[in-house]
Amino acid sequence: MSVPRRPYVLLVALFLLVIGCSAGAVQTTDPSAPRGAAGPEASPEPPRPVESLRPPAEIPDLGPRTRAQIPATARQALVVTGQGPDSNRSSAVLYSLDDPALGWRPGAGPWPAHNGMEGWTDHHLADDLRSPVGVFGLTDAGGRLPDPGALLPYDAQHRFAVSGEGFLGEPLEGSFDYVVAINYNRTPGTSPLDRTRPLGAERGGGIWVHVDHGGPTQGCVSLTEDRMRELLLTLDPAKSPVIVMGDAASLAL
């Protein structure tokens, strides 16, 4: 008498299914590794961004001596580069250091500028008609016009009025509508009009960034009026701004 095969077949299939699932499993992790640790076939870490692998950017075209003069606290730098040691034409770029890991980045410029009639000098004297080379703080502002919203302390006075003609016969009126004092031979934290000269009167003073009148200056740096307004709205005392100024060859040292 034959025995029905169907229950037997079902029993064998069920047994193979259970055994096959456990025996055929592929181990993908090291059994000795801590629970949750990735095995040898785990996905690698994503590559680091290229930016993070680069050294912090430096202000271009400045040599080691010039860079060493920039205070470690400075986070803004107006770089004024003269065309030559005896040239009265230059250009200005405003740099910012917002992220030390990325370094200095240009924020505005280049802007055309004028400097002293006779060019540049590393030993400025009164009435030599040259602009001093170096790195100087920018802490105080002012002008004949009302404060446009400057972040630096701003001294608005009619005493900033000026008249007469420049070296090319251009009118000087309006040149001091906006000014930023350059901390060469002056006391920081005072009005640009302050006449204190710590190095002595023979070393000159009253060196400013002011509104351009279309010609060379007696030693100051000049920018167009709209750029002066932009500068006043950007320079932040909390970022210890400085001006780096000189002819290209001197700044490259």
**Euclidean distance between CA atoms 93 and 99, whole angstroms:** 18
| Polymer length of the chain | 253
CA 107, chain centre distance (Å): 6
| Burial of 108: CB neighbours in 10 Å, binned 0-12, 13-18, 19+ | middle
Four-point Cα dihedral 207, 167, 133, 113, nearest 10: 90
**Euclidean distance between CA atoms 95 and 243, whole angstroms:** 10
Residues 232, 149: contact at Cβ < 8 Å? yes
DSSP strands (E only) in the chain: 76-82, 89-96, 105-114, 120-121, 131-132, 134-137, 141-143, 154-156, 179-181, 208-211, 221-223, 242-247
**Euclidean distance between CA atoms 112 and 138, whole angstroms:** 19
Residues taking part in catalysis: 210, 220
